[in-house]
């Protein structure tokens, strides 16, 4: 693993144990799933420091069929896999920092960031920022995205 990847992995893991807080991103207190990914992407230089997401309701995916998350990802990332590609059978194609999009409610409304070895880090509404096996979400996987500015 190169030095850059070690630094990103360390940054991702430094968020573990923080609380889930809707629409926020502060390492001292916590973040929701989207703001956590934005914070990592800014740290890595994949997004500009002044990048801001649109405002979104915490229960958007429960009540709407349209994925605001995927609309925003289309602006800054390339989709590299869809559910039909059987992501879990292609883990060797995933890279540190890939955004894993998960169906939550009626649409793709939750996301995590790929770490390595089939594990993701995401901000869970009850448990906060946690590291888990991607296989837990096998039936809920929607897509995988990679930042266009990724090193």
**What tens digit of pLDDT does each residue of 35-94 get?**
999 999 999 999 999 999 888 877 776 777 778 888 888 889 998 988 887 777 778 889
Look up tokens 């002044």; give the residue.
Answer: 50
- The encoded tokens of residue 13 equal 């893991």
SS3 content of the chain, % helix, strand, coil (to 5): 35, 30, 35
**83 near 70, Cβ under 8 Å?**
no
pLDDT higher at 95 or 69: 95
pTM for this predicted structure: 0.90
**What tens digit of pLDDT does each residue of 104-151 get?**
888 888 999 999 999 999 999 999 999 999 999 988 999 999 998 654
List the one residue out of 67, 44, 61 whose CA is nearest residue 143.
67
Three-point CA angle 83, 63, 41, nearest 5°: 55
């Amino acid at each position: 693993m190169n030095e850059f990847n070690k630094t990103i992995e360390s940054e991702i893991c430094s968020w573990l144990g923080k609380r889930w807080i809707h629409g926020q991103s502060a390492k001292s207190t916590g973040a929701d799933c989207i703001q956590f990914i934005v914070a990592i992407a800014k740290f890595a230089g994949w997004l500009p420091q002044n990048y801001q997401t649109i405002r979104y309701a915490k229960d958007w995916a429960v009540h709407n069929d349209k994925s605001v998350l995927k609309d925003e990802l289309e602006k800054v990332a390339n989709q590299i896999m869809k559910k039909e590609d059987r992501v879990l059978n292609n883990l060797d194609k995933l890279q540190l920092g890939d955004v894993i999009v998960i169906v939550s409610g009626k649409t793709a409304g939750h996301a995590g960031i790929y770490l390595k070895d089939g594990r993701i880090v995401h901000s869970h509404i009850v448990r906060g920022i946690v590291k888990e096996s991607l296989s837990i979400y096998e039936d809920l996987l929607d897509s995988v995205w990679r930042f266009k500015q990724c090193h």
